[in-house]
Amino acid sequence: MIRFEAPLLLFCLLLPLLLLLAASRRSGTPMGSSLLSLWREQPDSGPSAPRRWHAPPIALLLLCGALCAAVLALAGPHRSADAAVRITVLLDDSPSMQLEQRQVRLVERIEEWARANGVLLEWRREAQPDWAAHDSAECLWAADALERRPERAGLVLSGARCVPGAVGREGADRLIYDGRELLREKGAYPPELRSVRVRGAMPAALQPLWAIWCEKQAMVAHAAAREPLLELVFPDAVCAADREWNGPGFAARIGLAELPGTGSGAAVEAASGRDGPRFLVQSGRVVSNMCALEWRGAPAAETGVFFASLWEQALLDPLDCVPLAERMQSGAELTAWPSTNQKGPRDSWVAECVWAALLLALAAWGLKPRSSQAEATLRPR
């Protein structure tokens, strides 16, 4: 469907039409005509004979075409999309957006704007959005606070302020940020909120490292815990392969079996070397296919650090904890909606109309009658 930025200018198209009508009704004597031709053009009848029509010159036709193209260019023709505009909303899903229902209020504002402007929304929720990859006119950034501003995308900021509260856990203690400094609330987490459990047969050589780590983290090992903070899963099957494993600060012989079921949710495979066991780290869960472990000599301190970092990757903080950096997030409220009248690079024909007008005008100028030729025709020999 074709639309115009200034449709009233289209009435100017009547001017070239009137010019053609006036030229076709001219009955004047052409310059340079002989007496014989003039006598032949005389009407056979008297004064009541109809007046003859003359075809307009080609130069005049080209000039009228140039005027029409110029009028169309000024009117601004473009193609309007029949379908509704689609906007991709890149929504920040970090923990700070959950404070004070920031995300809920932000989503309501965006949906209200979309309904008022007939815009279709496509949502993308990411905890760590790649803002630069979505900086286009068809995108809308939604967050609580951002350091950089988009160049082409729209932007909606809810406005963030510092929100005091729990930021972490150290053993049984809760770390609290009061808006100025960190405080410690001792014994805030009872044993049921610090429970861990082991499923399957943990290799005996690994159990001392596990006990030391639980003691330092103030964890309570409970095999019957319903919702443990951390769960280690080992296979119960017989080892199917034996390998030598050289890790950080240790050398060992291990037995491997089939990897136990990992359940749902995303998993990250921890690096343990080409010949080492597989560790799938999930939220609150570490799954391994290692069914036997035998140290080749005493393990060094790096060994305990390796396994501790592996288990801490999956360690869950209590639900009331939000990282300190997220609680300290601050920024002003800002709204810059994306354009709902988007045109592609080939959806406008203004440039084509301008070029057509120029070419037709040049052609008309080249075909216009020369005054010197007319004078030479009238000059007596």
Write the single-letter amino acid at 87: I
Rounded average pLDDT over 346-364: 78
Q: How far apart are CA 88 and CA 130, in angstroms?
A: 13
Exposed/middle/buried for 67, CB within 10 Å: 0-12, 13-18, 19+? buried
Provide the pLDDT for residue 202. Answer: 92
Closest by Cα among 13, 122, 121 to 67: 13
Q: How far apart are CA 280 and CA 276, in angstroms?
A: 13
Indicate if the pLDDT at residue 141 is higher than 90: yes
Indicate if the pLDDT at residue 165 is higher than 60: yes
Contact 287, 196 (CB under 8 A): no
Provide the pLDDT for residue 91. Answer: 93
Least confident range of 134-138, 158-162, 273-277: 273-277
pLDDT in tens, 204-237: 999 999 999 998 888 888 877 778 888 999 998 8
Contact 266, 282 (CB under 8 A): yes
Provide the pLDDT for residue 96. Answer: 84
pLDDT-derived band at 59, boundaries 50, 70, 90? confident
Least confident range of 34-48, 143-157, 184-198, 232-246: 34-48
Q: How far apart are CA 126 and CA 94, in angstroms?
A: 7
pLDDT in tens, 78-101: 765 555 688 999 999 888 888 888
Provide the pLDDT for residue 326. Answer: 85
**Highest mean pLDDT out of 85-89, 167-171, 267-271:** 85-89
Provide the pLDDT for residue 35. Answer: 44
Closest by Cα among 182, 234, 227 to 210: 234
Please count the other Cβ atoms lying within 10 Å of the Cβ belonging to residue 219: 23
Least confident range of 298-307, 316-325, 327-336, 367-376: 367-376
Contact 270, 285 (CB under 8 A): no
Rounded average pLDDT over 39-55: 54
> Average pLDDT over the chain, rounded to whole?
80
Indicate if the pLDDT at residue 290 is higher than 50: yes
Rounded average pLDDT over 137-160: 89
Rounded average pLDDT over 176-188: 89
Provide the pLDDT for residue 371. Answer: 46
Rounded average pLDDT over 44-64: 65
Provide the pLDDT for residue 255. Answer: 92
Q: How far apart are CA 192 and CA 194, in angstroms?
A: 5
pLDDT-derived band at 307, boundaries 50, 70, 90? very high
Which tokens is 227 given?
């919702």
Provide the pLDDT for residue 107. Answer: 92
